Structure 1
Amino acid sequence: MSEAELPDRLTPEEIEAGRLLFAAPCAFFFGAQHVDQLPPPDRPEIAFAGRSNVGKSSLINALTGRTRLARSSSEPGRTKQLNFFDLGGRVTLVDMPGYGFAKAAKAVKEDWQQTMFAYLRGRPTLARVLLLLDARIELKASDREVMELLDRAAVVFQVVLTKCDAVKPGALAAKNREVSAEIGKHPAAYPVIVETSNETGLGVDILRASIARVIAEAPSGESS
């Protein structure tokens, strides 16, 4: 892939920086079900958000080159806590509970929103949220609600399309247009969409480099 083809003008040097960042040891170190249980904010954090079964855990595994670092549940919506992973002592990856699970009671969904908003709004080290959307599925009301939540929390988020290997080029282009139109309505949205596939590795190097850039630009842990 040439420099001119790199999304968001990422350079080959930044691609290599992303590879090196994610070549570091990575391990789970904390789980929190409530905001009063969070670990100390001592390094920049990148959070992964998305609907239940969108592939958050699989993408974290792909980024870190591991197969069982982050574990997905066979029952969508089962994971109810924020899972924290230390990446080389430089950045914390945060696997957020999935949203949009149909079987959950209204009270559970409201509690999720309250907990996630408290985390998003009050975490000084949160550098960016990666909002994962399944490329095969149309945008849902819950996706738009989370974008609005991120707007209110004033946290920069970037959309990552997952499972792109299962979508034909024309349909994927249409999906990009649909999502681009939606994020254009949200002041907290970063305007570059990353296409990924955990099966083929599509976009994994791009996402690594994007995260490395965010961390480099926010050494103090301030949002970027």
Structure 2
Amino acid sequence: MKLHTREWGTSDRVAVLVHGIMSDHRTWRRVGPALADRGYRVIGVDLRGHGRSARGTYSAELFADDLVDTLPEGAELALGHSLGGLALSLAVERLAPARAVYSDPAWPLGQAGAPDPALFVQFQQASWETVAELNPRWEADDIDVELATLAAWDPDTAIALSGTAAVDRVPASPAVPSLVQVADPSFLISDALKEELARRGFEVRTVKGAGHTIHRDDFDGFLGSLDGWV
């Protein structure tokens, strides 16, 4: 499936951004321009069932296939957040970027201790005040974006992903030089998993005090943790 995309910048150097569940390209409202200022043409997608992309059948593999159908091969940088990190890792060998960044990726989705994605459906009707209370460090514009992306989201994506239990999605090794950004604390990436990822060859950096959506919770910390990768 060809996905809806949004671009920032006009450089020959390409960076691609893949959002998490319940979101779309608008989550990158600060990241896209920041990377464009660093000399990239930045492409942000809307995953199927999100934003302006089509609805359909949902699975982690289909999310990944759509990235391959939509994004150029050989980008300098590919960055995926949460579900976007999971989808990117399943597509990365085919996309063959020079570098990959996985921002608090949803590799343990469905495993013991990780939230059931079906629970996210309850959040679709959240009020402005609820989003603000849950994310006290977000700017008002990010809360507005969250409500808009929730309204454009198909909750069947979460229901489909709730059946991923017992599937080990953690990559055995990085297909390309790869950074894993970790929230502090992270409800997905445990300390033990951080150690295991480092053992497998990933660089792991924790953004102290940042919540799961690191780029909205601590934008400066998010960019700072990308030092040497962008």
| TM-score, scaled to structure 2 | 0.41
| TM-score, scaled to structure 1 | 0.42
Q: RCO greater where, 1 or 2, for CA within 8 Å and sep 6 or more? A: 1
> Which one has a larger percent strand, Structure 1 or Structure 2?
1
